[in-house]
A and B are shown apart, each in its own frame.
Chain A
Amino acid sequence: MPEAAAGSGTAPSGGPGGPWLLEARSISIQFGGVKALDDVSLSVAPGEAVGLVGPNGAGKTTLFNCMCGQLRPSAGSVYFGGEPIHELPAHLRARLGIRRTFQRVEVFPHLTVRDHMIVAERARRGDGALWKDLLNKGRVKPDEMQAVDAVLELVGLQDLAEVPVAALSLGHCRLVELGRALAGQPRLLLADEPSSGLDVHETSSLAEVLRSVQRERDMAVLLVEHDMEMVAKAVDRVVVLDVGEIIAEGTFAEVVANPEVRRAYLGRTA
């Protein structure tokens, strides 16, 4: 793990083919006349947990969308495992091992919680050939069920496994999203405000789950979050974005003390 991942606060060095797992280089995107991202570069090393924070409208979710393929930036490039992925569609980026959760919850309302995990598990395995379904090979197999149960237990949804997701609360939907992303056994998890809609205790246990999964699986995490307590618990390094530009980077303590960051959040130099 690079030095920064251990919490030293020094930005790790690397490049395509180097130690970086994900590297976004000079990403810019405009919506009409508004520059949502202006020459933003950000890197995540394998197994590293990075927090991406900033006031509302800073461009955090836009950056996520550019990395995952939901948006095409007007300039810049994205590398994953040293390979350029900025030309790939979203589903092919996912197949490389990038999974995400969404700021505005995106679940499949007609499926049960368990079905969400099965879909993610099958997508990970690359299933989906018509002939397999026609030969009745689409049934849920014991090993699939085992993997799905493990994820359900991890996110604490085993009691709600058979419930259609449309009937769940927002907090539970967030957990479904997280479980679904983890079921894909990602190398990099992009979590977009996963604690929104959760209470204090749920947020705290979510941070613990994220941290333990990240360490156990050596999974990199890029976390967008407004709850600073959770950020402090769950990440090694924090990047601060404001009005489409990176204004600070370092450990949690360093960025909290940064006057530029305080100005961005509070509107004055505190």
Chain B
Amino acid sequence: MSTFLSYGVPGIPYGCDFALMAVGLVLTFRATGVFNLAFGAQAFAAAFIFDLLVRTNGLPVWLAFIISVLLISPLLGVALDRFLFRHIPSSSTTAKLVSSVGLLIAIPQSLPIFFGNTPRLNPPSVWLNPSIVYFHLFTTPINGGEISTTVVTVVVVAALVAMFRWTGIGLQMRAVVESRRMAQLEGINSPNVAAAAWALSSVLAGLAGVLMLPLTAELSSTVPLQFTSLLVAGITAAAVAGMRSIPIALVAAVGLGIVENLLKGYLPSGGALAQTFVPAFPFIVLVGTLLFNPALRGLDISADPLAACDPPPAPPAVSIRDRRLDKPTRVGFWILVIAFLVSSATWVPGLWVTSFAEGLTLSIVFLSITLITGMSGQLSLCQATFAGVGAFAAGQLGTHLGLPVLLGSVVGGLMAAATGAIVAVVAIRLSGLLLALVTLTFALLADQSLFLYSWSGGGLVGVTVPRPKIGTIDFGDDRSFVLLAFVALVLCIVLVMLVQRGTIGRYLAAMRGSPTAAASLGISLTSARLTVFAMSAGIAGFGGALYGSVLQSVSASTFVYEISLAFVVVVITTGSQSVEGAVQAGMAYSVFALILTYFPERFAGIEPILFAFGAMTYAAHPEGIVEYQKSRWMARVARLLRAYDERRAGASGTPGAAVGGEAPAMGAPPREVRPAVSLPSGDGVGA
């Protein structure tokens, strides 16, 4: 018994760390309707500022705590509401998740621009000193950090439960989450209530960040969520609680902490089970919870009864374009392509050519996001992991079996497709938010375990992926590789467009709109989802292998889960619904990175910030902010052309000529303009 207690008891404060994260996720979800992956980033911001105030500015700990947690954190929360979430009231939970992914990337990257990016080592503690043991519980030493976390967690949970159960503001928050606009019609000041909810949630994030500060050996914007286990355990406990019950989240988190400690204690260290099962345990629990907890069903459905008041989705820019611009656009496009290829092959500096090669191969990876997110409306947060599978397979097959890289890339793509199919089979009943979380779990599992073996990701050394050769043609030179990558990209674009315009593309669009209605027509959601997931993973794997060939050496760190998140935000910014968006994303991603190397190092985070801001607008502009701006420009040009026609017709006195020639009706539907369909919000992501 004493052994059991000595293993189990330390799990309690450990679990309380998880609980702060879990309670934060549940609170934010209940009070704002957002599954806030950026909770960790908000925590990081508060911790960073707290550390800065104490150590750089020499402020006393209590004053730094007040400024960072009680002043700046709520202000950040209010700002998030005011500038972002207030404008996407009826979007789906998944669409809001994309916005929170954008924040997760943007917030930590913004801080070094103002405060420099020197890693800050051994941050201070806010309350009791974690290096002092205050007492022993069943022979287990309990230090100051553990006491602080446990006490604060219990107090916070009690206060939040009381607030939701017995106060008017708690009830108002629940009503506002259901429908801001409906609550407003009932006399509730929805904007203020939502702002208060965000402020409260942000304070909790700040509190978590400052309390957990001593756990982090290094505070750096490049590793804002170095506590992956914290993130996984927090999501698991929140999922066990069905994203609803704060006390259950606490109990689940503490339970998870205890079980993890017991496993570590009882399984012989160094044994195969301890090395494989213990690291995978939280992921298994998380996936199991996401799959089998009935309380999570329907989490993604926007119940806003006023969603029908939203305008219909914007038509694509190409459909707004004045037909007279079609030919110049086509000609301009081909001139651009030829100029790009000729320039890459001749005069462009080598550094830029490498960047182009990266951009083209990444465009292939990004096409996989066009398939999964743009066409099926589902969000996958593990596309970089699939790219990794392809790259590692191509490298390993080349190294050990002597398989040519191009063939290895195709085989790598097939292996990634098989991996994608396995993930899809596991998550076959899930969609929307839950599917996104399963894919995130898979990405984290690959980071923590699957890619770390020598037979997969090559361990610490990584894997070499050489440049391809076809007969006597050697693509070792960047200039020739660009041509090869271009051909591969065109092939993949053709494949994706054939699917998009074919039966499966239509089925996917149907499923995105209404899975229930699609099934009622005889469409198998399972087979359509499996097909698109496998094909998307396959393309990501093939693109990843070619990307690996550009880099020539890849390791687990090349395809960490943050890269998957970055990929998603980049494609969503430029437009996930067209192949054009994927190519723009690939080229922009690599070329921006190159341009930023000419700036001081502290501005390195600007690229992810720019794309992250783009992703934040996803819920409001699911077609992509770049595509949205293009549509506006197309509309403007079409208006100018019409005005020109009218003036010309007026001058010549030709009646009836002033109708704008062949200009289409600016995207407006020809007859009915009243949207009466309750649109699946946020472009139907996860609908």
Q: How far is the CB of B303 from chain A (nearest CB, A)?
A: 12
Q: Are B498 and A128 in contact (CB under 8 A)?
A: no
A120 within 8 A of B: yes
A209 within 8 A of B: no
A109 within 8 A of B: yes
Q: Which of B192-200, B268-276, B633-641, B677-685 contacts A (4 or more CB under 8 A)?
A: B677-685
A154 within 8 A of B: no
Q: Are A123 and B523 in contact (CB under 8 A)?
A: yes
Identify which of residues 149-191 in chain A touch chain B, using a CB-to-CB cut-off of 8 Å.
159-160, 163-173, 177, 180-181, 184
B1 within 8 A of A: no
Known: A100-B520, A122-B506, A128-B523. A138 touches B501 (CB 8 A): yes
- Residue interface bits B300-321, CB-to-A below 8 A is 1, else 0: 0000000000001101000000
A119 within 8 A of B: yes
Q: Which of B253-261, B346-354, B442-450, B525-533 contacts A (4 or more CB under 8 A)?
A: B525-533
In whole angstroms, what is the CA distance A129 to B93 when docked? Answer: 31
Residue of A nearest to B521 (CB): A123
A-B complex: 6 closest residue pairs judged by Cβ atoms: A138-B502, A133-B502, A108-B513, A167-B669, A170-B676, A166-B312
- Residue interface bits B501-519, CB-to-A below 8 A is 1, else 0: 1111111011011101111
Q: How far is the CB of A98 from chain B (nearest CB, A)?
A: 8
In whole angstroms, what is the CA distance A177 to B680 when docked? Answer: 17
In whole angstroms, what is the CA distance A169 to B674 when docked? Answer: 6
Q: Are A164 and B522 in contact (CB under 8 A)?
A: no
B402 within 8 A of A: no
Q: Which of A37-45, A87-95, A255-263 contacts B (4 or more CB under 8 A)?
A: A87-95
Q: How far is the CB of B326 from chain A (nearest CB, A)?
A: 18
Q: List 23 A-B contacts (CB under 8 A).
A: A68-B520, A92-B522, A94-B522, A108-B514, A109-B312, A110-B513, A119-B521, A123-B522, A124-B521, A127-B503, A128-B507, A128-B527, A133-B499, A134-B502, A138-B498, A160-B671, A163-B669, A163-B672, A164-B313, A166-B679, A168-B672, A168-B677, A177-B517
Q: Are B499 and A130 in contact (CB under 8 A)?
A: yes
Q: Are A134 and B498 in contact (CB under 8 A)?
A: yes
Q: Are B312 and A102 in contact (CB under 8 A)?
A: no
Residues in chain B within 8 A of chain A (CB atoms): 312-313, 315, 495, 498-499, 501-507, 509-510, 512-514, 516-525, 527-528, 531, 535, 668-680, 684
Instruction: Name the residue among A106, A133, A180 with the largest chain B CB count within 10 angstroms.
Output: A133
A237 within 8 A of B: no
Q: How far is the CB of A137 from chain B (nearest CB, A)?
A: 7
Q: How far is the CB of B302 from chain A (nearest CB, A)?
A: 13
Contact of B517 (CB < 8 Å), options: A108, A134, A164, A167: A108
A72 within 8 A of B: no
Residues in chain A within 8 A of chain B (CB atoms): 68-70, 89-92, 94-95, 99-100, 102, 104-111, 115-116, 118-120, 122-124, 126-128, 130, 132-134, 136-139, 159-160, 163-173, 177, 180-181, 184, 197
Known: A130-B504, A170-B676. A115 touches B519 (CB 8 A): no
Residue of A nearest to B506 (CB): A119
In whole angstroms, what is the CA distance A4 to B528 when docked? Answer: 41
Q: How far is the CB of A251 from chain B (nearest CB, A)?
A: 30
Q: How far is the CB of B535 from chain A (nearest CB, A)?
A: 7
Q: How far is the CB of A171 from chain B (nearest CB, A)?
A: 8
Which chain A residues lie closer than 8 Å to B503 at the CB level? Answer: 122, 127-128, 132-133, 138
Q: Are A166 and B504 in contact (CB under 8 A)?
A: no
Q: How far is the CB of B428 from chain A (nearest CB, A)?
A: 12
Known: A119-B506, A128-B507, A163-B669. A102 touches B516 (CB 8 A): yes
In whole angstroms, what is the CA distance A226 to B604 when docked? Answer: 64
Instruction: Name the residue among A99, A102, A138, A177 with the largest chain B CB count within 10 angstroms.
Output: A138
Contact of A163 (CB < 8 Å), options: B495, B670, B679, B680: B670
Q: Are B672 and A167 in contact (CB under 8 A)?
A: yes
Residue of B nearest to A183 (CB): B521
Which chain B residues lie closer than 8 Å to A137 at the CB level? Answer: 502
Known: A110-B512, A160-B671. A165 touches B677 (CB 8 A): yes
- A sample of 4 more A-B contacts (CB under 8 A), given A109-B679, A115-B509, A163-B672, is A105-B676, A119-B506, A133-B505, A172-B672
Q: Are A166 and B510 in contact (CB under 8 A)?
A: no
In whole angstroms, what is the CA distance A163 to B667 when docked? Answer: 10
Which chain B residues lie closer than 8 Å to A166 at the CB level? Answer: 312-313, 675, 677, 679
Known: A119-B521, A133-B499. A109 touches B506 (CB 8 A): no
Residue of B nearest to A171 (CB): B676
Q: Are A109 and B513 in contact (CB under 8 A)?
A: yes
Which chain A residues lie closer than 8 Å to B517 at the CB level? Answer: 102, 106-108, 177, 180
Q: Are B519 and A94 in contact (CB under 8 A)?
A: yes
Residue of A nearest to B680 (CB): A109
Contact of B504 (CB < 8 Å), options: A89, A94, A111, A128: A128
Q: Are B506 and A111 in contact (CB under 8 A)?
A: yes
Q: How far is the CB of B19 from chain A (nearest CB, A)?
A: 30
Which chain A residues lie closer than 8 Å to B524 at the CB level? Answer: 91, 128
Which chain A residues lie closer than 8 Å to B519 at the CB level? Answer: 69-70, 89-91, 94
In whole angstroms, what is the CA distance A167 to B677 when docked? Answer: 8
Which chain A residues lie closer than 8 Å to B507 at the CB level? Answer: 119, 122-123, 128
Known: A70-B516, A107-B677. A133 touches B498 (CB 8 A): yes
Which chain A residues lie closer than 8 Å to B520 at the CB level? Answer: 68, 70, 90-91, 94, 99-100, 102, 106, 181
Contact of B498 (CB < 8 Å), options: A69, A124, A136, A173: A136
Which chain B residues lie closer than 8 Å to A177 at the CB level? Answer: 517
Residue of B nearest to A172 (CB): B672
Which chain B residues lie closer than 8 Å to A163 at the CB level? Answer: 669-672
In whole angstroms, what is the CA distance A237 to B1 when docked? Answer: 72
Which chain B residues lie closer than 8 Å to A106 at the CB level? Answer: 514, 516-517, 520
Residue of B nearest to A104 (CB): B678
Known: A133-B503, A170-B676. A184 touches B312 (CB 8 A): no
In whole angstroms, what is the CA distance A130 to B528 when docked? Answer: 9
Residue of B nearest to A124 (CB): B522
Q: How far is the CB of B500 from chain A (nearest CB, A)?
A: 9
Known: A94-B522, A108-B509. A164 touches B504 (CB 8 A): no
Q: Are A94 and B521 in contact (CB under 8 A)?
A: yes
Q: Are A108 and B527 in contact (CB under 8 A)?
A: no
Which chain B residues lie closer than 8 Å to A165 at the CB level? Answer: 677
Which chain B residues lie closer than 8 Å to A181 at the CB level? Answer: 520
Which chain A residues lie closer than 8 Å to B671 at the CB level? Answer: 159-160, 163
In whole angstroms, what is the CA distance A116 to B672 when docked? Answer: 18
Which chain B residues lie closer than 8 Å to A91 at the CB level? Answer: 519-525
In whole angstroms, what is the CA distance A115 to B503 when docked? Answer: 10
Which chain B residues lie closer than 8 Å to A102 at the CB level? Answer: 516-517, 520
Which chain B residues lie closer than 8 Å to A105 at the CB level? Answer: 676-678
Which chain B residues lie closer than 8 Å to A167 at the CB level? Answer: 312, 668-669, 672-673, 675
Which chain A residues lie closer than 8 Å to B521 at the CB level? Answer: 91, 94, 99, 119-120, 123-124, 180, 184
Which chain B residues lie closer than 8 Å to A128 at the CB level? Answer: 503-504, 507, 523-524, 527-528
In whole angstroms, what is the CA distance A71 to B523 when docked? Answer: 17
Q: Are A108 and B510 in contact (CB under 8 A)?
A: yes
Q: Are A164 and B312 in contact (CB under 8 A)?
A: yes
Which chain A residues lie closer than 8 Å to B525 at the CB level? Answer: 91
Residue of B nearest to A118 (CB): B506
Residue of A nearest to B312 (CB): A166
Which chain A residues lie closer than 8 Å to B684 at the CB level? Answer: 109-110
Known: A108-B509, A164-B312. A170 touches B677 (CB 8 A): yes
Q: Are A130 and B531 in contact (CB under 8 A)?
A: yes
Known: A128-B503, A132-B503, A137-B502. A95 touches B522 (CB 8 A): yes
In whole angstroms, what is the CA distance A152 to B668 when docked? Answer: 21
In whole angstroms, what is the CA distance A186 to B207 when docked? Answer: 60
Q: How far is the CB of B315 from chain A (nearest CB, A)?
A: 7
Residue of B nearest to A137 (CB): B502
Which chain A residues lie closer than 8 Å to B522 at the CB level? Answer: 91-92, 94-95, 123-124, 126, 184
Q: Are B313 and A109 in contact (CB under 8 A)?
A: yes
Which chain B residues lie closer than 8 Å to A100 at the CB level? Answer: 520
